Amino acid sequence: MSNIPDDLSYTKEHEWVSGLEDGLIATIGITAFAADALGDVVYVQLPEVGSTIEAGDSVGEVESTKSVSEIYTPVGGEVVEVNQTLVDDPSLANSDPYGEGWMFRVRADGDPEDLLSAEEYAALTSGES
Amino acid sequence: MSRSTPLRDVHESLGATLTDFAGWLMPLRYGSESAEHNAVRQAAGLFDLSHMGEIFLTGPQAAQALDHALVGHLSALANGRARYTMIVNERGGVLDDLIVYRLGDEEFMVVANASNADKVADELTDRAKAYDTRVEDRSDRYALIAVQGPRAEEILATLTDADLAGLKYYTGLPGTVDGRQALIARTGYTGEDGFELFVAEEDAAPLWHALTAAGEPYGLKPAGLSSRDTLRLEAGMPLYGNELSAELTPFDAGLGRVVKFDKPGDFVGRSALEAVKDVPPRRRLVGLVARGRRVPRHGYPVTKDGAVVGEVTSGAPSQTLGKPIAMAYVDTGVDAGLAVDIRGRQEPVDVVELPFYRRNK
């Protein structure tokens, strides 16, 4: 059973989102379930700081030994920060997906699309694992 | 419903990620596939390969039947030796790549890829009909466990009295390992020294545990199919379904040396292969190293100045080189200024000689 923190929101594409409730800067990463499914992450491509992205866009990609997966943003707005530490050490996506493995931060310009609670995401992934 | 090897419970108890491979439920990885890859390069890895097919030919004309059925000269193989060879169709297209072990004057074991094992057994049965030999698919009765890596010999030596130091590459001998009957073969698919142990299926789990315990002080790790694939790719070894297929001849794959035209008698595919043996293939198999960090993968186009000049057959991030690597079929004569179209972006790559990795002997 993957680790699914209660205080985060989730997407069907296996991203997590935090911070929407305080100040509209959302932090986005991939879930432990996604990282486990990918295997060892070897390369992460993130959106550019200052770029404007729309909810539902593919804004980056995560490559592992066996596969590649796109990163979809559930939140639109301006990218205000990306995790350069993760770019330099992609294995953080496996070892600490909800902490040091965070991916990018967005100043949200609207309501996010179809987020799931931890409980809903747990139900989704228990059907896929 | 996937088939399971005799080691499925062992894999589950180790927390393996299991995957369907060629109709078998196999361990993809136990933990980090990079760590498994590195363990095989630096110490040793333990693999369950029980999905592979073992087809036996026995009888006075077993050798002649194989000379007819396969492209190699198997009647010339000495007892105890093994040979890499192929089975092709009448058009010369590769149906599978095989390792054939000669166990005695009148006994051979043909090891086929899991995805092709049934087809190979059927073809061998059909092609051997005119010969005094018996073809028997014993895949269900055998488990295959591989110990691969620079420490493999030391580890195995703790469990057997067999003369491992005298066992050369591509030879096999019957012996006992941890008190269990085994065919001990010095073969593998990782680019490292190592052994493949063919044992009765009921001996698989106890032998796995014995090898795990014996290997622990040497840094042996259980290793899954994910690391097996990156290891064989670094070693430049072809995988059926990627570098080899029924649409390609052994010559297309740069492996024409396995075809022995000077052996006695006719063999399936001879006339088709004789017609192409001196014709330069349209494309050749090359190694590619990416300059960037995005990974060329199976099926991606190889391009030059925007035009497609080839196709990637296998690709992965290489632990050993620290860069993405790939094998690809590329138009003959084109070897500079190449890129791989990675999901719409042209990523520059350099052509290199295969293999990417060669161990120090």
The pTM for the full model equals 0.95
Instruction: Tell me the mean pLDDT in the region A71-89.
Output: 96
Cβ–Cβ of B17/A42 closer than 8 Å? no
Residue spans of chain B under pLDDT 50: none
If you measure CA to CA, which chain A residue comes closest to B227?
A: A65
Average pLDDT, chain B: 97
Is the pLDDT reported for residue A118 higher than 90?
yes
Long-range contacts from B209-216, C-beta under 8 angstroms, 24+ separation: B209/B10, B210/B159, B210/B177, B210/B178, B211/B46, B211/B145, B211/B147, B211/B155, B211/B156, B211/B159, B211/B178, B212/B46, B214/B155, B214/B156, B214/B158, B214/B159, B215/B44, B215/B46, B215/B147, B215/B151, B215/B155
DSSP chain A: -----TTSEE-TTSEEEE-TTTTTEEEEEE-HHHHHHH-SEEEEE-PPTT-EE-TT-EEEEEEESS-EEEEEPSS-EEEEEE-HHHHH-TTHHHH-TTTTT--EEEEE-SPPSS-B-HHHHHHHHHHH-
Domain ranges of chain B: 3-49+141-234, 282-361
Is the pLDDT reported for residue A127 higher than 80?
no
Q: A39: which chain B residues are within 8 Å (Cβ-Cβ)?
A: 17, 28-29, 32-33, 226
The pLDDT value recorded for residue B312 is: 98
Token duo for residue A8: 């985060």
Q: B34: which chain A residues are within 8 Å (Cβ-Cβ)?
A: 40, 42, 65
A 10 A CB-CB count for B168 gives 10
Which residue from B34, B293, B294 is facing A65, i.e. has the nearest CB? Answer: B34
Q: A45: which chain B residues are within 8 Å (Cβ-Cβ)?
A: 294
Cβ–Cβ of B317/A43 closer than 8 Å? yes
If DSSP codes are grouped into helix, strand and coil, which group holds residue B214? helix
For the segment B5-52, what is each residue's pLDDT rounded down to a tens digit?
A: 999 999 999 999 999 999 999 999 999 999 999 999 999 999 999 999
The pLDDT value recorded for residue A109 is: 86
Q: A61: which chain B residues are within 8 Å (Cβ-Cβ)?
A: 294, 343
B282-361: CATH number: 2.40.30.110
Is the pLDDT reported for residue A1 higher than 60?
no
The alpha-carbon gap from B292 to the nearest alpha carbon of chain A, in Å, equals 10
Instruction: Tell me the mean pLDDT in the region A29-57.
Output: 95
* A114: confidence class by pLDDT, cuts 50, 70, 90: confident
Which residue from B34, B229, B294 is facing A40, i.e. has the nearest CB? Answer: B34
* A112: confidence class by pLDDT, cuts 50, 70, 90: confident
Cβ–Cβ of A66/B33 closer than 8 Å? yes
Cβ–Cβ of B297/A68 closer than 8 Å? yes
Is the pLDDT reported for residue A129 higher than 70?
no
Among B40, B230, B294, the strongest candidate for a mutation testing the A interface, having the largest count of A CBs within 10 A, is B294
Q: B293: which chain A residues are within 8 Å (Cβ-Cβ)?
A: 42-43, 63
Enumerate domains of chain A plus CATH numbers. Answer: 9-112 (2.40.50.100)
The pLDDT value recorded for residue A21 is: 67
Which residue from A42, A66, A94 is facing B226, i.e. has the nearest CB? Answer: A66
* A2: confidence class by pLDDT, cuts 50, 70, 90: confident
Cβ–Cβ of B33/A39 closer than 8 Å? yes
Size of interface A-B (CB pairs under 8 A): 40
B295 and A CB contact within 8 Å: yes
Tell me which fold the domain B3-49+141-234 belongs to: Gyrase A; domain 2 (3.30.1360)
For the segment A19-32, what is each residue's pLDDT rounded down to a tens digit?
A: 876 568 999 999 99
Which residue from A36, A63, A66 is facing B294, i.e. has the nearest CB? Answer: A63
The pLDDT value recorded for residue A85 is: 98
Q: Which of residues 9-68 of B touch A (CB under 8 A)?
A: 17, 28-29, 32-34
The pLDDT value recorded for residue A22 is: 58
The pLDDT value recorded for residue B289 is: 98
